[in-house]
Chain A
Amino acid sequence: MASLNLGENIEIDTELIKKAYSLAVKAHSKSSEKAYNVEESRRSSDPVIFSFSGCWSENGWYDGEPFGVTEINLPLLFPSLRSIGVNENALVNKAFLQRFVDKILGNSDFDREVQKAVKKNKQILFIGHSSGGSIANLATIWFLEKYIKPEYNYKISPSSPLCVTFGCPLTGNHIFSHALRRENWSRYFIHFVMRYDIVPRILLAPISSIKLEFQKVLQFLNAKSVNLAHASIDNFDASNFYMKVMKNASSVASHAACNLMGNTNLLLETVSNFIPLSPYKPFGTYVFCTGNGKLVILRNPDAVLQLLFFSSQLCREEECTDIAQRSLQQHFGYDNELQDCFQMLNEVHLEPLEQLPLSSDTTSSDIATINSALNDLGLSTRARLCLCAAGELEKRKIGNKESIDLKKPDIEKAMKYLEEDYQLNCRHRDLGCYDAFKLQETSKDFDANVKRLELAGIWDEIIEMLKRYELPDAFEGLRDWVLLGTRYRRLVEPLDIANYYRHLKNEDTGAYMIRGRPKRYRFTQRWREHAERMPAESSGESCFWAKVEELRIKISSQGFEPIKEEVLLLEAHVQNWINLGELSGDVLLEKSTFKKWWEDLPREHKLTSCIKDLKVRKAVTEKKQILFTGHSIGGSIANLATIWFLEKYLRSDSPDNYKISPSSPLCVTFGCPLTGNHIFSHALRRENWARYFIHFVMRYDIIPRILLAPVSSILLEFQRVLQFLNENP
């Protein structure tokens, strides 16, 4: 069984690809009844294949001028399709998205059939030819967004799910491509493109420029999809269509090439104002068929875009009519071509791009294969330079990432100072960091300020790079950076807020949250929210102090009643954040701005407030010895409370650095019933926690023994015993 090696350990059986193509083309003919088909054989090892049909009407491609794109604003279906830090949604072809949402998701059978395959843990393929390929793309992303969640228990592997398309038009913009690479999903997409197939290039042209011919081209393609042999198109229309699409492709490719090469001439921008430039950008692995049995494989989206243009250029002006016809015929020529290719299995990986041979008559043997493949695609030296530039850009991005990785120790060091020395120093002054920093009384506060600014310098640089997409796409999904960003934000943002309100910047600039919050915190907050699949704006614990300050200002001018709701909301948040350990307990210190403000709230409000009891927390913060105690069942509860405490505050990442000692915490019980089984006991001894529990038991006290009897054996008497105990406290 032959298989095609796509690089990065991905291989697909060539028979499967051929089968996929025939199913993809077959899907067109049934398009009137059903927008997709599912193929499932009995054999459990065989994949389940979902194939999607194309669409042959103009507004099935361009829904709106000039390129028919729309912003994806479907946080439930496609939460990942955006740029996280800059908070920008991806753009996608509107008609394709609409078709997927209405015809595929709107059909309840589809999800049911997918779920069935998921339950059986089958390999799943989404495939499509022409615009059906775009629907397959969207279906695959939808699948990944949904079934990657652990509760579905589906094993995502390099071979499942897979999306295989043939002559598929572009689907989304650069953010779309960026997001898929960030999630490391782009490897699930394999696009086959014939050298001259015009369809993958069409969306590089605005509809206005091809309106005249597009209708006829679609008619032709539609006829072809029904009956391969009997369709033709006028030479004149074909040539015009080809030339117009290619001219626009040339604009897009040369504009992109200038940027890849680090353009500094602003004329580029001035001229860009005069023409609509297609926003579409490729993603996934592209397999270009050279037309003589070779397959050229590459996955750098910038390079693919260049290749889409260069490979279908004319070699000589005279061949225009011929190539134009071929550009349409080849859209249905994948089966023969792939047949030839798979016989030879002559695949060429264009990697590393920056080292491509630049001249077509290079003779050096190891690159001769690449060279001849590039010749077969008709790439001149300039075209190759454009591919190199794409490779260089990627290399530069990786270099940028390495250089900021080198700054991690600096970040850690500055943060360590703030986390340990500074926090300890503040505690000695009975102050939380926020209040100490706001007062700026000692030289430690000054040192902390310098550390804050040093950190800001490093993080701002990272944010600038992200804004300009100068870091690898994967960056905002990297776990270590997300965690570091979250720690940084919780630790240092309060200092920024202190600084802001200390200098009364709210007076001339406005509230911190609206006008003053630096991007380094906005970005890192979004990283966490994305990584942990939290709703947008829900991880605002680091802005706690800004909320307090704004409420203080509001209360001092409006009084309590009008903003009662906001106070309640903040209190609920505080309770939650403190319990989760996301907010340091020092906010509850007696001298803290928050505590003082809260104490000034109306008494009747405080009595019912949800945070009036955050006592444990306060004790922890003040580093007091803590005792949990109870009599009878109360003792069991004390046991559980102690274990909860140990689990929580023994964690090394707890923000409070509570020092566990042999005398704290302690659990002291009197006549306490048994609480857990042998594993319970075993676990406590393993953790060396058993020593925190002291149980006093009277020689004849029956209560500690009760649970040794099954309830059935004491049913009659137990009720009365309990009554007795209750009446004689």
Chain B
Amino acid sequence: MDTSPTFSIGPELAKFVVSSGVLNQSFATVRDLHGEIINQNEHRVRHKVSQQSNCTIIAFSSWPGCGKDYILERDLVSSSTPEEKTESFPLFNFLSTKTNPDFSINKAALEHFASIRDRLPNLKSQIDNSKVLIITGNSLGGSVAILFTLWLLETIDFSITKRPLCITFGSPLVVNNGLQNAILKYPTWSSCFLHVVSDQDPFPRVLIAPHNPPATESASQTNVYKPFGTFLLYSKSGCSCFEDSQTILELLMATYSEGPENQNPNQVLELYEKIVEYLSRKVICMDATRLLQWTTPQRADIINIQLAVIGLMGPPQSLQLQGQNNGLDNLITKIEKQETELAESRRQGFDPSKKLNEVKINMANLEWYKKYSKERGMGYYDSFKSGSTQPDITVVGFKKILTQYWVDMVDEAEKKPQKEGASFRTRWLGAGTNYRRMIEPLDIAEYYKGGGQDYIKSRRPEHYKKLEQWLKEKPLSVPNKLKKQNVASNLTEDSCFWAHVEEARISCQLLSSRESSDTEKELKKLRKFENYVYDLMKYYAVSPEIFLPQSSFMQWWKDYEKIMGTSYSSNLSNLMKDYDKYATGSLEIP
């Protein structure tokens, strides 16, 4: 539907970042930290906390002398490495997910971070929750800032504070694709990272440059390091922001203009000082984008603007002549594709509300099925289990759609960071609970029909468990008159009810066929089940459909009565004398 040209946000976002002043503020703290007098036996990572009127800034810097050598080490430390070797790794275990059990971090960066481990509690205590937080650092200090921010994201409750912002100046890449994926799963997390990179700074590129031989065998493949967050790439002609990681990797290499003077970390620091100062002056000046003659802008033209902004392209006249420059053309095509894909995937992002009404139509169909089965005198659980009529077969389709939807929903909620996950859950829990109570009996029916046993322990799908966990059940209360009268239209509150029934039936069979080796155990189970049903009835928490003549529950009751004998009397047997009153809410339950 949307055929209008897509715009490139990169240059505008960069302009916003610059004019907001966050670069100046954070860089000033980094500079102050570097200006402090260093005494000999100082830690190799130093930090500074600066309280400002609108925010708190924490800056990190590494001891300049050892910076470069460390950066050049390409070693990664994997999360599967035994713990004694990597003292700080447990701090990041929260980042491993089911799909990403294993990930790696640059060794130098990790060791630097490990060296401030003792200072973490103190640092955390200086964070003022009422103010926003910037974490910053240059070069390896930037890497420490990244790891510190990741650590914070897990330990601070950001439902009461705003998201922090981590700004690095010329930090090398620190993570592999395992960790990159883990972070990219949480868009709000990767939105906390902004990496400023100058076209003259070698450090951010050193780990991905193909011409640097790997230091050890284990890291022999190139480009194991991956970027995440937003990169603000700077060149003499301006700056632009990029988010697609593949684009970033390519542009980092393509924009590098090597100079002899920028191998020294101190000079690199000066470089960034100039950049920050220059950009902030330029932000109110007209930019120099004058490009090809377009009538309607094409996507590629807009990419051109971005590349011109970061100095990859000269003025238009020269561009038209450099048609032979295939490398650049290829780059443009590639970037165009990657950026479009990223924007597309974002736009189509998971939006459960769009489908909710559709899903509800499927639920309405199920309700109808339930009613149809009730009229057949067996309830939808047994009707589905028998699978003998057309509706029993049709309903499988509705069930499938619903299950797919809720599996995705639960998965999505699980993936989100705590706070968002929680609000997500409260919004959808009502519908989810309804779904669980309606559909899970069908799963149980399928399972026991296929001869399965012990559904709850061995087979219950994960998403039902989650849905049930999230519903922090209120303790059952004595039902009021309206609830009693309405019981006929309610679903059984415990969605595993039928699994209990099936288990009880199995016990009965074992007892009557005298197969069971442990009669006492089976009887105990049955008595437990009896009490369970009694409680459900007492609170009107079970649907009266269980009393329909052909229901499995009634079959069980018949079997059970046979085993226990006619003189057997219990709470439940008293109720079962006139269970038909239950449906109208007029059954007196002591």
A residues in contact (CB < 8 Å) with B: 243, 246-251, 254-255, 257-258, 260-275, 310, 313-317, 354-355, 358-364, 378, 380-383, 385-386, 388-389, 392, 395-396, 399, 403, 440, 443, 446, 449-450, 453-454, 456-457, 460-461, 464, 502-505, 507-509, 552-553, 556-557
| Across-interface contacts of B342 in A (CB, < 8 A) | 264
Given contacts A254-B13, A378-B286, A380-B289, contact A388 B297 (CB under 8 A): yes
Restricting to B268-293, which residues have a CB under 8 Å from any CB of A? 280-293
Given contacts A243-B284, A261-B8, A449-B364, contact A464 B353 (CB under 8 A): yes
Q: Does A358 contact B364, Cβ atoms closer than 8 Å? A: no
Per the bound structure, the CA–CA distance linking A403 and B54 in Å amounts to 44
Q: Does B481 contact A380, Cβ atoms closer than 8 Å? A: no
| Across-interface contacts of A266 in B (CB, < 8 A) | 187-188, 190-191
Q: Does A504 contact B5, Cβ atoms closer than 8 Å? A: no
Per the bound structure, the CA–CA distance linking A509 and B165 in Å amounts to 38
| B577 interfacial contact with A, CB 8 Å | no
Q: Does B489 contact A403, Cβ atoms closer than 8 Å? A: no
**Between-chain CB contacts (< 8 Å), 12 pairs:** A246-B284, A254-B12, A261-B12, A264-B343, A267-B243, A274-B132, A385-B297, A457-B358, A460-B353, A460-B357, A461-B354, A507-B483
Given contacts A264-B346, A504-B490, A507-B483, contact A250 B19 (CB under 8 A): yes
Which residue of chain A lies nearest to B487 when distances are taken between CB atoms in the complex? A504
| B469 interfacial contact with A, CB 8 Å | no
Task: Return the contact of B281 from the options A275, A317, A380, A508 (Cβ within 8 A).
Answer: A317
Q: Does A268 contact B16, Cβ atoms closer than 8 Å? A: yes
| B504 interfacial contact with A, CB 8 Å | no
- Given A267-B193, A381-B290, A453-B364, 15 further pairs, Cβ under 8 A: A250-B15, A250-B284, A254-B16, A264-B347, A267-B17, A271-B22, A274-B132, A274-B165, A358-B297, A385-B7, A386-B12, A446-B364, A449-B364, A509-B430, A552-B482
Which residue of chain A lies nearest to B358 when distances are taken between CB atoms in the complex? A457
Q: Does B163 contact A270, Cβ atoms closer than 8 Å? A: yes
| Across-interface contacts of B9 in A (CB, < 8 A) | 258, 261-265
Q: Does B54 contact A251, Cβ atoms closer than 8 Å? A: no
Q: Does A453 contact B20, Cβ atoms closer than 8 Å? A: no
| B334 interfacial contact with A, CB 8 Å | no
Q: Does B4 contact A316, Cβ atoms closer than 8 Å? A: no
Q: Does A263 contact B13, Cβ atoms closer than 8 Å? A: yes
Q: Does A262 contact B343, Cβ atoms closer than 8 Å? A: yes
| Across-interface contacts of B474 in A (CB, < 8 A) | 508
| Across-interface contacts of B182 in A (CB, < 8 A) | none
| B200 interfacial contact with A, CB 8 Å | no
Q: Does B13 contact A556, Cβ atoms closer than 8 Å? A: no
Per the bound structure, the CA–CA distance linking A509 and B6 in Å amounts to 43
Given contacts A392-B5, A504-B483, A505-B430, contact A250 B13 (CB under 8 A): no
Q: Does A382 contact B371, Cβ atoms closer than 8 Å? A: no
Per the bound structure, the CA–CA distance linking A571 and B295 in Å amounts to 66
Q: Does A450 contact B13, Cβ atoms closer than 8 Å? A: no
Restricting to B356-383, which residues have a CB under 8 Å from any CB of A? 356-358, 360-361, 364-365, 367-368, 371
Q: Does B12 contact A257, Cβ atoms closer than 8 Å? A: yes
| Across-interface contacts of A248 in B (CB, < 8 A) | 19
Restricting to B1-57, which residues have a CB under 8 Å from any CB of A? 1-2, 4-9, 11-13, 15-17, 19-22, 54-55
Per the bound structure, the CA–CA distance linking A271 and B346 in Å amounts to 19
Q: Does B358 contact A503, Cβ atoms closer than 8 Å? A: no
Per the bound structure, the CA–CA distance linking A381 and B241 in Å amounts to 18
| B109 interfacial contact with A, CB 8 Å | no
Per the bound structure, the CA–CA distance linking A381 and B294 in Å amounts to 11
Which residue of chain B lies nearest to A312 when distances are taken between CB atoms in the complex? B284
| Across-interface contacts of B12 in A (CB, < 8 A) | 254, 257-258, 261, 382, 386
A313 to chain B, nearest CB (A): 5
| Across-interface contacts of B324 in A (CB, < 8 A) | none
Q: Does A556 contact B286, Cβ atoms closer than 8 Å? A: no
Q: Does A265 contact B243, Cβ atoms closer than 8 Å? A: yes
Closest 10 CB pairs of A and B: A266-B191, A457-B357, A261-B7, A264-B346, A254-B16, A250-B19, A254-B15, A246-B284, A381-B289, A251-B19
Q: Does B357 contact A268, Cβ atoms closer than 8 Å? A: no
Most B CB contacts (10 A, CB to CB) among A263, A362, A383, A460 go to A263
Which residue of chain A lies nearest to B54 when distances are taken between CB atoms in the complex? A274
B420 to chain A, nearest CB (A): 12
Q: Does B358 contact A392, Cβ atoms closer than 8 Å? A: no
Per the bound structure, the CA–CA distance linking A316 and B284 in Å amounts to 10
Per the bound structure, the CA–CA distance linking A310 and B193 in Å amounts to 29
Most A CB contacts (10 A, CB to CB) among B13, B162, B291, B483 go to B13
| Across-interface contacts of A507 in B (CB, < 8 A) | 483
* Binary contact readout B184-212 vs A (1 if CB under 8 angstroms, 0 otherwise): 00011011111000000000000000000
| B434 interfacial contact with A, CB 8 Å | yes
| Across-interface contacts of B192 in A (CB, < 8 A) | 270
Q: Does B490 contact A503, Cβ atoms closer than 8 Å? A: yes
| B318 interfacial contact with A, CB 8 Å | no
A427 to chain B, nearest CB (A): 22
Per the bound structure, the CA–CA distance linking A267 and B21 in Å amounts to 15
Per the bound structure, the CA–CA distance linking A508 and B9 in Å amounts to 45
B303 to chain A, nearest CB (A): 13
Per the bound structure, the CA–CA distance linking A354 and B11 in Å amounts to 19
Per the bound structure, the CA–CA distance linking A374 and B448 in Å amounts to 75
Restricting to B148-188, which residues have a CB under 8 Å from any CB of A? 162-163, 165, 187-188
* Binary contact readout B280-324 vs A (1 if CB under 8 angstroms, 0 otherwise): 111111111111111111000010010000000000000000000
Which residue of chain B lies nearest to A367 when distances are taken between CB atoms in the complex? B295
Which residue of chain B lies nearest to A379 when distances are taken between CB atoms in the complex? B286
Task: Return the contact of A359 from the options B290, B356, B364, B482 (Cβ within 8 A).
Answer: B290
| Across-interface contacts of B495 in A (CB, < 8 A) | none
| B486 interfacial contact with A, CB 8 Å | yes
| Across-interface contacts of B187 in A (CB, < 8 A) | 266
Most A CB contacts (10 A, CB to CB) among B16, B283, B294, B295 go to B16
| Across-interface contacts of A264 in B (CB, < 8 A) | 9, 342-343, 346-347
